[in-house]
Each structure stands twice: as C-alpha cells, then as structure tokens.
Amino acid sequence: MTVPSIQAGHVQRGGSAPKRAPAAGIRNKILNLLPPKELKAVLERCEMVTIDPEEIIFRRNEPIPFAYFPDNCVISLVTEMEDGDAVEAMTVGNDGFVGMAAFHGVSSSRLKAIGQISGEARRLVTDDFLELAREFEGLRRLLHRYSHFVFETVSQSAACNRLHVIEQRAARWLLMSEDRVGRNQFDLTQEFLAEMLGVRRPGVTVAMGVLEKAGLVAHGRGNITVVNRIGLEKAACECYRIIKARQGELFGWT
C-alpha cells in the first residue's frame, strides 16, 4: 500500500511528493509545504524569536501561550518525574512545530517544553495559531500529519531506549539534532545530553568518548561538532534510518 504524500497543501497519491523550492528565508519544513496564500497568512501573524538552551517555552500543566515553528533551533519536550528527574520525550526542530496539545484542543500539557539547541523560531499567539488552523485546510492537514509522525517517532524511541546501547542512541540523537538545525556544530553540554537520553552523566561521557575516538564527533566546552556524518550514521542504530524514511513517506523530505 502506497502512503499518500503532502506537498503544497494537498495529498498526492503515489510515491514521494514533487520537490518545491523553499520560500525565501523560511527553513521550517512544515511552513515550506504550505500553499503561498496560507504561508503568507501564517507569516503575517508570526514574530521571529531567539531560543536559548534550557529556556522554558512552557511548563507542564500551565497554559500554552505560543505555538512555535523552529527555524534553526531545537526545542525539547520533557517528561518530569515527582522526584525531579526528567527525560526527553521528543525533540522538535525545523521539521515540526511546538504546540500540539493546543492544536488538539487541550489548553496545557503534562510535558515541559525547553530550549535545547540555540537558534531562532517563528512563534505566534496560540489563539492566532488555532484560528489559522481552523481557516486553512492545508495547514490543518499538515499539523495532523505531523502529530501522527510524532506518535510514531515516540513509539520508535521507546523501543530504541529499551533495546539499543548508549553509543547508538547518542549517535542517533546527534544526527537528528544536526538535521533539525541545519549545521554540524551546535551548543550542547554532556549534562544536558544525559538528561535527554535518560542516562547518568558517566554513561554519556563514555559514549561520547567512543564516538570521538572513532573520529565521528568532536566536543569542546558546551558544544559538539559532527566531524564524520557518514561514520556517525553507521554508528547509529536502525531507528535513525527508520524515522528518516518515514519522514520521506509522509512529507516528501529527503
């Protein structure tokens, strides 16, 4: 069975969607799939903001004031436990949007959203976001499709966390981060990476040491550089390739 693809605000039957040139200055891939009229309406309501590492985007069980379309930053959705421990549930970069609970009619979330990798994002007031989603079919369809992709990604990550070793998971996470910011160097501490992977700091130190010794990455004070992407893809578990392929099926991205 062939999966329908979305491009320019409509569903196309068959293989991958036809390529469409990105709008000038727009790096968010969801926005770039919108028809020109819908994109113009969304951009008119947006403002460009800078996202800093560990910046609180919204807290759990509190109203979600804005929806975000990351440009070259990454935002983490984090599950917090009663004892203060936290683990990443999902990351969102230029391949998605933040504000899914609001889109589905829920005013708050059990997840906390925080800045992970610094950069810029377009944001709009939640009420404006919901009004646009009601008005424009293409936007609404893309947001629903992305929501389903998130469900599949979280399901894949659950299996990954159970079955794959830290080095493989770290490699997958770094590859996805590079994809989502569009550059091979980004700010990231090992403490934060440990929290995102749900492991202790010593485990991340060992994993990063293995990847660095193999010449795949380099890390300095609070930043990481992907040195050998092909090698890092080989070091990553199958989950990276599965998630990447599913993006292509659903959105026509390569």
For residue 123, what pLDDT is reported?
97
Q: Which is more confident, 232 or 222?
A: 232
For residue 13, what pLDDT is reported?
35
CB-CB neighbours of 44 under 10 Å: 10
Residue 38: name the closest of 122, 121, 127, 133 by CA.
133
For residue 196, what pLDDT is reported?
72
List Cβ neighbours of 235 (8 Å cut-off, separation of 6 or more).
Answer: 167, 168, 171, 211, 214, 216
* Alpha-carbon dihedral 174, 180, 182, 186, rounded to 10 degrees: -50
Could you say which DSSP state residue 58 is in?
A: E
What's the pLDDT tens digit per position in 119-150? Answer: 999 999 999 999 999 999 999 999 999 999 99
SS3 assignment, position 69? strand
pLDDT classification of 93: cutoffs 50, 70, 90: very high
Q: Which residues of 105-139 are buried (b: 16+ CB within 10 A; e: fewer)?
A: eeeebebbbbbbbbbebbbbebebbbebbeebebb
Contact 113, 76 (CB under 8 A): yes
Cut 0.75: pTM above it: yes
Would you state the structure tokens that stand for residue 139, as one six-digit string?
């936007």
**What domains can you pick out in the chain, each with its CATH number?**
5-159 (2.60.120.10), 165-236 (1.10.10.10)
pLDDT classification of 204: cutoffs 50, 70, 90: confident
